[in-house]
Structure 1
Amino acid sequence: MQFAIREARMKDVKGYHACLTSVALERKHIGFVEAPPLRDSRKWMKTALDARNPFLVLTKGSTIVGWCDVGRREREGLIATQRVTAAGFVSLAGPGRAAPAIIREQLRGAPKLAGPADRILGELEAGRTTDSVPPELRSLFRPSVQPYLISGFRYDPAKEIAKVTVPVLIVQGSTDRQVSVEDAHYLKKRQSASAIPDRSRHEPSAQGCTR
């Protein structure tokens, strides 16, 4: 039976979810040990496809046996730029603060959730998982994803970008609900000194900072 690689479609979501479950159970390749609920996988795939992000599946006959999706990966990009020879680095809507700070900011408008979330974030920042998660916050802090969050919370993009010595382009939209223009400025302030002169530029719909 032949393997084939093709673009994913929404009708693939159940096969993708089954494959994700299988890989998660191996406890080797991804940061959680069980797949999220099918509805979350459906939402993730729809969001990726609607944004026209690359999303490929590997099939063997009619069965999905692998996948590749490309989304926001600023952390991996910043770290990789420090380790390999690169001509430059582009941050597209990349956060300028550690994830816990952004999550706390986003939950300020929901006081009933902010308190419990702050407690959970404190545990995760200390490197500890917790089973005490209110139902309203399980989609964000469910136990299966907590090891991944703990790993990501150790990363501060402002500190990492200060280690990058190649030219950097920072692009941030002003209507992004997840990452603000202020995040772009946080990154720009922390960029390491370079011989390349500052060429900041601001556009009405997408604000950018270059170095």
Structure 2
Amino acid sequence: MDCWVLKTAKMLWIAFLGSSLRLIPVFFVACQPETHPGLPYYNTPDFTPVFMKSENQLAEKVPHTIGRFSFKDQNGTIISQKAIEGKIHVADFFFTSCGMICPRMTKHLKLVEKAFPNAKDLVLLSYSVTPWIDSVARLKKYSQTNGIQSKNWHLLTGRKSEIYQLARQSYFAEEELGYSKDSTEFLHTEHFILVDRQKRIRGIYNGTLELEIQQLIADIKTLQQERLR
């Protein structure tokens, strides 16, 4: 029987027509939908989940990882892929002059900051999508205005083409999931992207909804436990 788990069995009495009318018991077994351990992986822009029961074929079935990068944060420090080596990270894309959505996203990301105040294995990366406006000094002011305190929360600026390429090709970040736009088209997305220690995407969340942030926090804890297995 093609079932992952045998959950329950129900017995129905069905009339059997033979030489005489009799009732015979017939058992129907209800199957629980297949369950998967841990969080899924996301390997394509359409965010089709890939579940792995073993890490043996991980590199073959999930080859996509976050690419190399190098940008300056609000303190003028160069932040590259080395900052996320062996660490979990959450990425989002914002701009300091955004009036409504970005402040809400920053407020919600502060919930993540608060939930993991001393976590050395977690990095928050907020990429500016208007880097020609968001200088280091402007990002510094934004971080102060919003009370960003974590040393592991980096607001990043740099070359527009490099940020946009990283956003679309590595993080699959786009308002319309699964579709790539020309590099000159403005990039704006409400999504938070969760990435594991091997730089593989493990979750996507609407950054404007607090309920999804609570799920993000729970999923970060799940990834933290993966290291202990």
| Bin of the TM-score, shorter chain as denominator length | under 0.3
Larger % of helix: which? 1
Structure with the greater alpha carbon radius of gyration: 2
- The normalised TM-score by structure 1 is 0.24
Q: Which has the higher contact order (CA 8 A, sep 6+)?
A: 2
Larger % of strand: which? 2
